[in-house]
């Protein structure tokens, strides 16, 4: 009897181990199905990615996008959103053909797909244009407003003459007899530094009107050549203050109307004046 009991105990222990040694048939089938499904999804992703790469490499994606864009534009035009006119404000010097070229051939196109920011950027690349704004007025109008540059001087470089504004920005190349009333700027590094001297002269219209040339000396300071032949030698720094003092002296004594060779303003404490054919004279600053 005792041997039979021991045999039964071993049998029960063996059965428990058999049931815990692996998944049941149902669990195994479920695991197989999940693995198969994941493999199928991965295969579909690989196929779609490969197909997309082939279409992209062949340019089919771009072609499809272009066709969709053209269809959308055609629909917008058919619905009445067609550019039929362009209104312009602020143009006096800018050439019409340059402005039209910057805006682009947009008449008859969809106003919904018109990129106003890109058009504005192209217009502001024109020499005369200081700043521009472009807006869409639905359903059919593009409005362009520009503010033009004001000529301040003529810059000479390698024999060519360029019209510049008070900030030193180049407006356009000009001929030898154009804008002869404006001062001529010469010297290495002159355009980059022109803004300061031009703005300083703008505060003294009488001296600015008398100025015939601005000469950059050593890429660090300016000489101002007046139309009557007088040279004004300005300091490296503080030239605006020197011009202020000179303007005051001109108002009180008319010093710039005298037959002078030069006025040296480089020393802030003392002005040196030389008359034509005479030795230099010092004047307290």
Q: What is the pLDDT of residue 183?
A: 94
| Residues 217/203, Cβ–Cβ less than 8 Å | no
Q: What is the pLDDT of residue 219?
A: 85
Rounded to an integer, what distance in angstroms lies between the CA atom of residue 42 and that of residue 92? 65
- Label residue 277 by pLDDT band (50, 70, 90): confident
> How big is the chain, counted in residues?
285
H helix or E strand, kind and range, residue 281: strand 280-284
Average pLDDT over residues 91-97: 94
Q: What is the pLDDT of residue 15?
A: 40
Pairing of strands 184-186, 151-157: parallel
Rounded to an integer, what distance in angstroms lies between the CA atom of residue 209 and that of residue 194? 17
| Residues 195/166, Cβ–Cβ less than 8 Å | yes
Quote the mean pLDDT of the chain: 81
Whether 113 has a pLDDT exceeding 70, the answer reads: yes
- Locate the domains of the chain by residue range: 78-148, 151-284
Q: What is the pLDDT of residue 57?
A: 60
Angle at 211 between CA 210 and CA 214, to 5 degrees: 170
List the one residue out of 212, 192, 208 whose CA is nearest residue 200: 208
Output Rg (C-alpha) for the chain, integer angstroms.
41
Rounded to an integer, what distance in angstroms lies between the CA atom of residue 125 and that of residue 160? 21
How far from chain centre, in Å, is Cα 36? 57
Rounded to an integer, what distance in angstroms lies between the CA atom of residue 109 and that of residue 107? 6
The CATH number, out of the four listed (3.40.50.10960, 1.25.40.10, 3.40.50.300, 3.40.50.1000), of the domain defined by the range 151-284: 3.40.50.10960
**Nearest-10 crossing angle of helices 60-78, 25-57:** 70
φ, ψ dihedrals at 8, nearest 5° = -65, -40
pTM score, two decimals?
Answer: 0.68
pLDDT digits (tens, 9 = 90+) for 159-210: 899 999 999 899 999 998 999 999 999 887 777 788 999 999 999 999 999 9
Q: Which CATH class is domain 78-148?
A: alpha beta
Average pLDDT over residues 49-74: 59
Task: List CB contacts of 125: < 8 A, sequence separation 6 or more.
Answer: 102
């Amino acid at each position: 009897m005792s041997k039979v009991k021991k045999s039964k105990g071993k049998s029960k222990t063996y059965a428990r181990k058999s049931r815990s040694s692996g998944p049941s048939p149902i669990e195994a089938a479920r695991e197989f199905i999940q693995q198969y499904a994941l493999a199928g999804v991965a295969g579909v992703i690989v196929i779609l990615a490969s197909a997309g790469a082939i279409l992209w490499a062949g340019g089919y994606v771009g072609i499809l996008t272009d066709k969709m864009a053209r269809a959308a534009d055609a629909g917008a035009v058919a619905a009445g959103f067609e550019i039929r006119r362009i209104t312009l404000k602020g143009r006096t010097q800018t050439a019409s053909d340059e402005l039209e070229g910057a805006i682009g051939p947009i008449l008859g196109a969809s106003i919904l797909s018109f990129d106003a920011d890109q058009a504005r950027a192209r217009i502001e690349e024109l020499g005369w244009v200081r700043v521009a704004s472009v807006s869409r007025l639905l359903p059919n109008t593009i409005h362009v407003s520009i503010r033009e540059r004001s000529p301040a001087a003529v810059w000479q470089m390698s024999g060519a003459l360029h019209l510049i504004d008070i900030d030193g920005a180049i407006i356009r190349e000009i001929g030898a007899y154009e804008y002869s009333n404006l001062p001529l700027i010469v010297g290495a590094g002159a355009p980059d530094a022109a803004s300061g001297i031009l703005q300083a002269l703008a505060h003294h219209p009488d001296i600015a009107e008398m100025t015939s040339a601005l000469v950059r000396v050593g890429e660090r300071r300016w000489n101002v050549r007046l139309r009557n032949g007088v040279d004004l030698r300005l300091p490296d720094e503080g030239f605006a203050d020197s011009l202020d003092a000179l303007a005051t002296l001109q108002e009180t004594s008319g010093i710039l109307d005298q037959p002078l060779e030069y006025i040296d303003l480089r020393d802030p404490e003392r002005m040196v004046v030389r008359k034509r054919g005479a030795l230099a004279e010092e004047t307290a600053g």
